[in-house]
Amino acid sequence: MAYTVDVQSTSRYPTPLARAVAAAANEALAHLGAPDGAGLTVLLTDDEYVRQLNRQYRGEDAATDVLSFPAGEAMPGGDAAYLGDIAIAVPTAERQAAAKRHTPLAELQLLAIHGALHLLGYDHLDAAQKAAMWAAQAAILAKLGLADIQPTEDAHAEDGHGA
């Protein structure tokens, strides 16, 4: 299956970082059987911008690691779905990676997967939903050689998906 994962940024990040984030989101789409041609956008940004988005769309005046914004619309010129947008706070990801003693790149890949799962309808509002989402996340991470990477529970308790 072919997917479109567009990585944008508000700062200059190394090209390999953007490619790894795109590959992680793409792997999530492939693992869950998203429609051929489905697409999403990942924005790599700073804590303040994610805080503004969180305040505007969720009414929470705090930074978080990742926000997902499902689109629910068709891509121009085709039948494939544009799934939506993901915003990742790179400084938060870096702090979480340091606290968990793995690379910032692995944390960014985790967050891209987590955001893509939200766009595909996964959530973690109750124990059953969380178990399903965490299992999917773990399987995708394992395919990327990142089986030892685990989500940051406190941060993901606050992540969300906007309008």
What CATH number is associated with residue 51? 3.40.390.30
Residue of 114, 146, 105, 111 whose CA lies nearest to 20: 105
- pTM for this entry: 0.88
Q: What's the total number of domains in the chain? A: 1
- Host domain of residue 102: 4-161
What is residue 132's three-state secondary structure? helix
For every one of its 163 residues, what pLDDT tens digit does the chain have, with 9 covering 90 and above?
A: 789 999 999 998 889 999 999 999 999 999 999 988 999 999 999 999 999 999 999 999 999 999 999 996 544 555 568 999 999 999 999 999 999 999 999 999 999 999 999 999 999 989 999 999 999 999 999 999 999 998 876 444 334 443 3
The pLDDT, as a whole number, for residue 49 is 97
